Every structure is written in C-alpha cells, then in structure tokens.
C-alpha cells in the first residue's frame, strides 16, 4: 500500500516553492507514494498562474479566501478545513512551506492529528516578531511542531540548532525557488513563441518592453500597510525624477491596502507603470530584463541574484541574511530618505557595492534532495 503525502499551499510564493517538489515526487516516486496537492486559495488568481506554468492542478481546492479577511478568521478557517481533510485522506506526512498563515494553520492541524510535518524553507529568522509580521511568528511556531526541517542554508540550520532542534531532523537542501526560477527562465528563453507571448502579455498587463532601461518594483508586506507604503511611494516619486532614463515598473498586489495607496500616489507619472499582477512566467521575464529591483519580497531576494540583478530590500530587517553578507542584496528600509539614498548611491557608483560571485541559496537541485529525504523518512 502506497504512503500518502499531502502538500498544502495557499499563496503564489508557496506554490513556486512546493510545485518542484510535487512534480519530482509524482514523476519519480509515483509507485511508492500517493501525493495530494491542496490549495487553500489564499491568493487564488496568482496561485493559478503558477499551476499553469508547471502544468499541474490541485487535487483539493478549499477556496477559503474572502475579501478583507482578517488573520484570525483566515487561520481558523484553514485550521478547521485542513483538519476535516486530514480525517478524510489520512496522510502519512504533510509538507508545508515557509511562513504563511496557510503553512502555520496546516502544520497545527497536522500536529493535532498526530501526523508528521515536513517544513520546507525552515530556519529563516529576523528574531523580531514585528518584522516580518506575522511571518516571523508563523515560522517559529511551525518549527515547534515539525518533524523534518528543510533548511535552505547552513546559517538556517545553525539557527534551528540554537533553538534546540535536533540536528538529525535538519537537512540543508538549498531553496526550491531556484529550481522553479531556472526551469521557467530556461523555458522562456528557449521557446521563441513563448517569449513573444510573454512580451504581449506584459503589454496587456501594462508595460511594453522596449530599449528603455527599467527598475522592477514589488511591495506587499503587511507591516508596511499605511505609513510604510506612503514612504515607499514618496521614494518612488523621487526616483522617477532623479532617474528619468529609467522606467519604474510596478506590478501592484491585489490587496486593497496596497492598491489604494499605490494608485492614489503614483498615477499619472510618465515613467511609472502600475501594472496588474503578472503571472509567474511574466514576472521572471521582468526580473531577467530589469536593471535592478526594489522589493520587500523574501523570494525575490533569492531569485534575482541568480539572474545577476542588484536587489534593494525595502524592509528594516530580513530573514535572508546570507544575501546581505554576500553583497547580493542591500537593505534600504522603508523611509523615503533611506530608499532614495541607498538606490542613488549604488546607481551613481555603477553598483560597485554589489557582488555576484557566490549564491548561497543553492544549485537548482533542492527538490530532489527534499524528495529523497521524504522517502527515507517514510521508509523509517
């Protein structure tokens, strides 16, 4: 009788990082495992675009997202729904990724049902529960109930050991985000028809690729809601004036707390392009074509250096310290002065404060390592 593995995801970043593992398991271990893919629908539209890229579909779609749903409601809805699902399919292992509400609530449901938890992207820490919020707490809470800890880097492993996690339960794998990135980038560059389609899709979504240089911008963090986004918009206005030879390309997150401030602040600036959210293939293309990137995303801090792109992190702290130490990313904070000064200093000095010699986040084979450890765990 085949063992059962349940993989749960709810946001686009989760899907980007779990789908390489899902595909590897079903392609290489289908005779030994029955692997279920469950979507909570936390980012429904953005999630589907990633499923399409990997040519997969969820086995279970819980459709739990509602407009302006608070964290308490979302957590309780996921907890109850996953609990019911576990009683129905009775998996032998649950795989969750990262620091989302979906990952935390699913891990908690598994713990309540005495089902082993495997945590993908374990051990990232800022040691500040307010930044990122609530993600820092989610990660630590998942660690406390997980049985397998897949740490992207040695530094993440050391953080777990320092918190009392048994070393035998930790495996350093690299980050599966690079598996996805390299797969999608290669696919779009080798397929001319796909490449042209991506260009047309980008134009429909709000930006036409041309010979002009552009800066890619992403921002969605909950801790930046309100004044943080006001500051970020003020910085982007100033950069649009100080760097007139650049376009500022900003795919705007669907959350109304993001949409309202961004559009009211940055509309009608000639070299600022506020796009609709773009699919994953389109986003990888934007990263690859951009001159540099401003972001508060965690995944982008790992992806962009693999494409040789300088990254300015619009956060006060990052749980991805390896990138800072390797001079792959630069933290510029969330104040107008900090962002503009950090970006302009680097641009004026031809990005001499960045280095792209070593990427600490892996070699693109993390999914294989994770899958083999899962098989070994289930055999034992």
* DSSP string for 58-85: -SEE-----TT--HHHHHHHHHHHHHHH
Between CA 302 and CA 307 the distance in angstroms is: 10
Instruction: Confirm if 82 and 105 have CB atoms less than 8 A apart.
Output: yes
What angle do helix axes 280-289 and 192-205 make, rounded to 10 degrees? 90
Active site residues: 99, 121, 135, 220, 222, 253
| pTM of the complete model | 0.84
Could you tell me where the DSSP H helices lie in the chain? 12-28, 44-54, 71-89, 101-112, 135-145, 154-162, 176-190, 192-205, 227-242, 256-266, 280-289, 298-306, 321-325, 336-348, 366-379
Partner residues linked to 96 by β-bridges: 119
Confidence (pLDDT) at 125: 96
CA 220 to chain centre: 11
Q: How many CB atoms lie within 10 A of CB 164?
A: 8
For the chain, 380 residues long, give each residue's pLDDT as a single digit of tens.
899 999 999 998 899 999 999 999 999 999 999 999 999 987 677 788 889 889 999 999 998 887 778 899 999 999 999 999 999 999 999 999 999 999 999 999 999 999 999 999 999 999 999 888 899 999 999 999 999 999 999 999 999 999 999 999 999 999 999 999 988 888 888 888 888 888 998 988 889 999 999 999 998 777 667 788 889 999 999 999 999 999 999 998 877 777 788 888 888 899 999 998 888 889 999 999 999 999 998 889 989 988 899 999 999 989 999 999 999 999 999 999 999 999 999 999 999 999 877 788 888 899 999 999 999 999 98
What is the C-alpha separation between 314 and 319, in angstroms, rounded? Answer: 13
Q: How far is residue 319's CA from residue 130's CA, in Å, rounded to a whole number?
A: 12
Count how many residues are written for the chain. 380
Ordered by where they begin, the domains of the chain are 3-175+363-379 (3.40.50.2000), 192-348 (3.40.50.2000)
Q: For residues 311 and 305, is the Cβ–Cβ distance under 8 A?
A: yes
On the 0-12 / 13-18 / 19+ scale of CB atoms within 10 A, 234 is: middle
* Distance between CA atoms of residues 379 and 32, nearest Å: 10
Residue 225, phi then psi, degrees to nearest 5: -55, 140
The pLDDT of residue 96 is 98
Q: Which pLDDT belongs to residue 3?
A: 96
Instruction: For residue 294, report the phi and psi dihedrals to the nearest 5 degrees.
Output: -110, 130
Using DSSP, state whether 338 is helix, strand or coil.
helix
Looking up tokens 């339960």 gives 169
Instruction: Let me know: does 248 contact 271? Beta carbons within 8 Å.
Output: yes
Count of other CB atoms within 10 angstroms of residue 68: 8
Cβ atoms 36, 59 nearer than 8 A:
yes
End-to-end Cα separation, the chain, in angstroms: 15
């Amino acid at each position: 009788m085949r063992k059962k593995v349940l993989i749960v995801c709810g946001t686009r970043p989760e899907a980007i990082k779990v789908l390489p593992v899902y595909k590897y398991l079903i392609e290489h271990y289908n005779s030994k495992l029955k692997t279920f893919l469950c979507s909570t629908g936390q980012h429904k539209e953005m999630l589907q675009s990633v499923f399409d890229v990997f040519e997969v579909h969820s086995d279970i779609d819980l459709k739990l997202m509602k407009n302006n749903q608070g964290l308490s409601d979302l957590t309780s809805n996921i907890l109850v729904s996953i609990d019911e699902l576990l009683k129905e399919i009775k998996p032998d292992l649950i795989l969750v990724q990262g620091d989302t509400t979906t990952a935390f609530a699913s891990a908690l449901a598994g713990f309540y049902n005495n089902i082993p938890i495997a945590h993908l992207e374990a051990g990232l820490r800022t040691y500040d529960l307010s930044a990122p919020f609530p993600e820092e707490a989610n990660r630590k809470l998942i660690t406390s109930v997980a049985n397998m800890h897949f740490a992207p880097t040695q530094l993440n492993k050391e953080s777990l050991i320092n918190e009392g996690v048994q070393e035998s339960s930790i495996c350093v794998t690299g980050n599966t985000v690079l598996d996805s990135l390299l797969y999608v980038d290669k696919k779009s560059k080798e397929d001319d028809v796909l490449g042209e389609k991506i260009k047309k899709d980008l134009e429909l979504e709000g930006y036409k690729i041309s010979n002009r240089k552009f800066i890619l911008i992403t921002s969605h963090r909950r801790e930046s809601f309100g004044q943080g986004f006001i500051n970020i918009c003020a910085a982007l206005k100033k950069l649009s004036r100080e760097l007139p030879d650049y376009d500022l390309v900003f795919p705007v997150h669907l959350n109304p707390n993001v949409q309202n401030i961004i559009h009211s602040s940055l509309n009608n600036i000639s070299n600022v392009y506020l796009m609709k959210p773009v699919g994953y293939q389109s986003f990888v293309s934007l990263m690859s074509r951009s001159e540099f990137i401003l972001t508060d995303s965690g995944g982008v801090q790992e992806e962009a250096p693999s494409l040789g792109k300088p990254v300015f992190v619009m956060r006060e702290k990052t749980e991805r310290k390896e990138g800072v130490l390797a001079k792959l990313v630069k933290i510029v904070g969330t104040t107008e002065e900090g962002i503009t000064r950090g970006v302009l200093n680097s641009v004026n000095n031809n990005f001499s404060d960045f280095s792209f010699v070593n990427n600490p986040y892996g070699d693109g084979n993390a999914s294989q390592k994770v899958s083999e450890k899962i098989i070994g765990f289930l055999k034992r």
